[in-house]
């Protein structure tokens, strides 16, 4: 089974690299055409060794003098950085017009990986005339640049086992053999619960963007999610500890959307001033809950577990309803009763989440109280008075 890794424009958590994202494209697609050497780095991996199979490079680019794009894959460790050349495409792909490197396939060197090691990709043009396009939205169009690994790679960060256990305990599905739900189903329920929790209480991230006094446009923050994230505030200039914080008015900046070719572009742009020093952006983004990073507050974790358990109950209710074949009446009734019990438990568990996170009890929104009075008719017998004139005869 192969693994796909996309070239994004998100800054990696290691300086000097962009993020090489596994499993999906960037959460903020915005086409980039860049010249010069580009370097991308994956998130920490689970330690699966790399075989001698062929890596495929589906990378878009162009040049006007038949320049080539050369690709190199390295094993990247926290202690030594790029080491152990895995793939070296010394010949390179020649792209004279905007086109893809046609799935160029190159054999690899068998490489031993440890938990936490990463994959580093270096794309080197043979001249400055070569342009690399990446971080596009639409598949099979300019900027849909990715690489395909011949091995089943997995991320090191996974859902914590104690969270899975807590969810199972909520629904009494703790059997060591043949549980009602597989781990994949529990993980699916937890992922949906985290998405719901993110919608109800987004995580607030603070990120520093480097400014040099020459540009007013900046790449969107690394964890920005198009269609969800929003800017809370922008601090500029950034004062040292103890200084007075200076935040910009909303009309001092904008999120600029445009197009480049057939792909969208997005950037954070200052309207009138050109920042000369770093700026701080505070924005909303998705929560993370893994065994390596956790942004869910401790006081809310039990509520998230309740919601995940509720989604597990709905899965079990669907299974019970689907398996209640009407061939034997008693068994069919038992199946329907079982489905109803799971649905009832799901409702109770979701109510616990709602009460803790939203404070709305059963999840029914509380409407504002109101009363209607006619301003021009004497309010006889009601004890009320006129709004704009005294209650007397003229």
Q: Is 380 inside any structural domain?
A: no
Q: Is 172 inside any structural domain?
A: yes
Q: Is 386 inside any structural domain?
A: no
Please check whether residues 187 and 321 belong to one and the same domain: yes
Please check whether residues 314 and 169 belong to one and the same domain: yes
Please check whether residues 182 and 134 belong to one and the same domain: no
Cβ partners under 8 Å of residue 235, min gap 6: 245, 246, 247, 248, 279, 280, 281, 282
Nearest Cα residue to 2 out of 20, 21, 22: 22
Please check whether residues 335 and 323 belong to one and the same domain: yes
Q: Is 11 inside any structural domain?
A: yes
Quick one: 36 exposed, middle or buried, by C-beta within 10 A (0-12, 13-18, 19+)?
A: exposed
pLDDT of 393:
44
Cβ partners under 8 Å of residue 55, min gap 6: 73, 86, 87, 105, 106, 107, 108, 147, 148, 149, 150
Q: Is 345 inside any structural domain?
A: yes
Please check whether residues 9 and 129 belong to one and the same domain: yes
Q: How far is CA 292 from CA 44, 158, 240, 312, in A?
A: 10, 8, 30, 24
Please check whether residues 178 and 30 belong to one and the same domain: no
pLDDT, block means (10 residues), the chain with 394 residues: 94 95 94 93 97 94 82 94 90 77 87 97 86 93 94 96 97 92 97 98 96 94 96 92 86 95 94 94 98 96 98 95 62 67 96 92 47 50 48 45
Please check whether residues 183 and 103 belong to one and the same domain: no
Please check whether residues 132 and 48 belong to one and the same domain: yes
pLDDT of 362:
47
Rg (CA), the chain: 28
> Helices 298-322 and 183-200: crossing angle, nearest 10°?
130
Please check whether residues 183 and 238 belong to one and the same domain: no
Q: Which domain holds residue 125?
A: 3-149
Q: Degrees (nearest 5) of the Cα angle 343, 184, 162?
A: 85
Total domains in the chain come to 3
pLDDT of 322:
83
Please check whether residues 39 and 131 belong to one and the same domain: yes
Please check whether residues 263 and 320 belong to one and the same domain: no
Q: Is 171 inside any structural domain?
A: yes
Q: Is 377 inside any structural domain?
A: no
Please check whether residues 82 and 109 belong to one and the same domain: yes
* β partners of residue 332: none
Nearest Cα residue to 389 out of 375, 372, 370: 375
């Amino acid at each position: 089974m192969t693994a796909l890794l996309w070239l994004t424009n998100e800054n990696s958590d290691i300086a000097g690299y962009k993020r090489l994202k596994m499993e999906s494209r960037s959460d903020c697609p915005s086409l980039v055409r860049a010249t010069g050497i580009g370097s991308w780095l994956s998130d920490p991996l689970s330690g699966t060794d790399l075989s001698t199979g062929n890596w495929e490079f589906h990378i878009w680019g162009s040049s006007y003098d038949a320049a080539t794009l050369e690709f190199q894959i390295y094993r990247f460790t926290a202690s030594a950085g790029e080491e152990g050349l895995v793939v070296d495409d010394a010949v390179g792909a020649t792209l004279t017009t905007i086109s893809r490197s046609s799935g160029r396939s190159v054999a690899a060197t068998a490489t031993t990986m440890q938990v936490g090691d990463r994959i580093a990709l270096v794309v080197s043009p043979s001249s400055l005339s070569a342009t690399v396009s990446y971080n596009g939205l639409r598949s099979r169009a300019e900027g849909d640049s990715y690489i395909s690994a011949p091995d089943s790679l997995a991320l090191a960060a996974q859902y914590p086992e104690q969270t899975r256990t807590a969810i199972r305990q909520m629904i009494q599905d703790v059997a060591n053999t043949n549980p009602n739900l597989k781990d994949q189903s529990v993980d699916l329920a937890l992922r949906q619960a985290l998405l719901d929790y993110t919608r109800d209480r987004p995580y607030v991230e603070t990120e520093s963007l480097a400014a040099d006094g020459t540009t007013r446009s900046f790449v969107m923050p690394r964890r920005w999610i198009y269609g969800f994230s929003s800017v809370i505030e922008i601090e500029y200039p950034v004062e040292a500890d103890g200084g007075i914080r200076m935040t910009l008015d909303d009309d001092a900046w904008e999120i600029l959307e445009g197009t480049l070719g057939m792909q969208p572009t997005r950037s954070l742009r200052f309207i009138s001033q050109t920042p000369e020093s770093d700026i701080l952006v505070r924005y909303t983004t998705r929560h993370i809950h893994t065994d390596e990073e956790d942004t869910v507050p401790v006081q809310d974790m039990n509520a998230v577990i309740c919601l995940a358990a509720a989604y597990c109950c709905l899965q079990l209710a669907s299974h019970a309803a689907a398996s209640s074949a009407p061939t034997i009446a008693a068994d069919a009734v038992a199946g329907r009763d079982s489905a109803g019990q799971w649905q009832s438990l799901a409702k109770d568990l979701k109510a616990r989440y709602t009460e803790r996170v939203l404070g709305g009890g059963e999840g029914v929104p509380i409407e504002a109280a109101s009363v209607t009075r006619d301003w021009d008719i004497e309010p006889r017998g009601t004890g009320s008075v006129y709004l704009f004139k005294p209650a007397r005869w003229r």
